[in-house]
Amino acid sequence: MRNPQLTRNGELQHLLTIDGLPREILTAILEAATPFTVVAEREVKKLPLLRGKSVFNLFFENSTRTRTTFEIAAKRLSADVINLNINTSSTSKGETLLDTVDNLCAMQADMFVVRHASSGAPFLIAQHLAAMGLEHIHVINAGDGRHAHPTQGLLDMYTIRHYKQRFDNLVVAIVGDLLHSRVARSQIHALTTLGVPEVRVIGPKTLLPADISQLGVRVFHDMRAGLKDVDVVMMLRLQNERMKGALLPSPQEFFKSYGLTAEKLHCARPDAIVMHPGPMNRGVEIDSAVADGPHAVILPQVTFGIAVRMAVMSMLAGA
């Protein structure tokens, strides 16, 4: 079966998930992002690559970083950006997701950036557009349920490559609530596709999917053992809004065992970098001394997100 995110020629049609994307495409996005960093950092104001295109941001779930950096990225590519305010849209009157999409298509949309609490919502939109013969409209998944957050995974890879130069000699640990994390799934698929030889996941049994080792990762329940000699530590937020029932004794107990402190970080390599997709829960999954310390690259992740999102949007637009 053809990968639904690729055209018949193997080019990127939509960005729905990193799972199944060829390494060449991931590498091409990272390469394409590099020159955009001068625009992301405001050395160059704007580029005309998306001039005349309309990008609709459809965020059915809250966001600070993703929604804002997509908007900045689209504007710096000279697109017209429309942020649909879901709370004041006709969704609150019962309009379906696909009816909303049809109406925005009638307003000559060229690209949808979609965040939704339901896994598969961006895929559903992409399928619908194909059925309607609207293949020229592109869909970017900005985070769907527990499923995927591909641009977060890509900006994380960009950050790792920026600080470590290569992937094929790294040990990377992802720590915390992997069970509910779409970010972790995208990170694992990206890291393994790009050739990272050892990807570790660290967390309590209640917050790790039972079959996670099938994704090619090593499982650790002891944080100090899992962090031993790692090059990259990727922390995750406790996704309380997606937890059903009591999966943890308390946030304080979680912090004691799995919170990243300077003392636990000593187990990693001396030049290890510390990442977090945000939003952070200080004192729950990460101590402020680490979040604001010399190993943290958490704010550069956000800045790189602009360049990576510019790269994705311009590739989709064929620019």
Residue (226 or 305) nearer to ligand CP, CB? 305
Burial class (CB in 10 A: 0-12, 13-18, 19+), 108: exposed
Q: Is the dihedral of CA 177, 179, 180, 182 positive or negative?
A: positive
Q: What is the DSSP string of 96-148?
A: -HHHHHHHHHTTT--EEEEEESSTTHHHHHHHHHHHTT-TTSEEEEEEETTTB
Give dist(CA 24, CA 193) in Å, integer.
10
Residues 215-254 that bind ligand CP (CB under 6 A): none
- Partner residues linked to 112 by β-bridges: 56, 139
Residue (142 or 172) nearer to ligand CP, CB? 142
Residue (251 or 278) nearer to ligand CP, CB? 278
Q: What x/- string results for residues 27 through 46 when contact with ligand CP is judged by CB under 6 A?
A: --------------------
**Least distance CB 64 / ligand CP (angstroms):** 4
- Asked if 278 touches ligand CP (CB under 6 A), the answer is yes
Secondary structure letter of residue 258 according to DSSP: H
- Partner residues linked to 173 by β-bridges: 200, 233
Query: Computed over its alpha carbons, how large is the radius of gyration of the chain?
Result: 19
Q: Is the dihedral of CA 266, 268, 274, 280 positive or negative?
A: negative
Residues 53-92 that bind ligand CP (CB under 6 A): 63-66
| Pair 315, 14: CB distance under 8 Å | no
- Asked if 300 touches ligand CP (CB under 6 A), the answer is no
- Interacting residue with ligand CP among 20, 35, 279, 318 (CB under 6 A): 279
Residues 92-151 that bind ligand CP (CB under 6 A): 143, 149
**Least distance CB 113 / ligand CP (angstroms):** 11
Give dist(CA 172, CA 196) in Å, integer.
8
Residue (90 or 119) nearer to ligand CP, CB? 119
- The number of residues that bind ligand CP (CB under 6 A) is 10
**Least distance CB 181 / ligand CP (angstroms):** 11
**Least distance CB 204 / ligand CP (angstroms):** 22
- Interacting residue with ligand CP among 160, 277, 312, 315 (CB under 6 A): 277
Task: Give the footprint of ligand CP on this chain (CB under 6 A).
Answer: 63-66, 143, 149, 152, 277-279
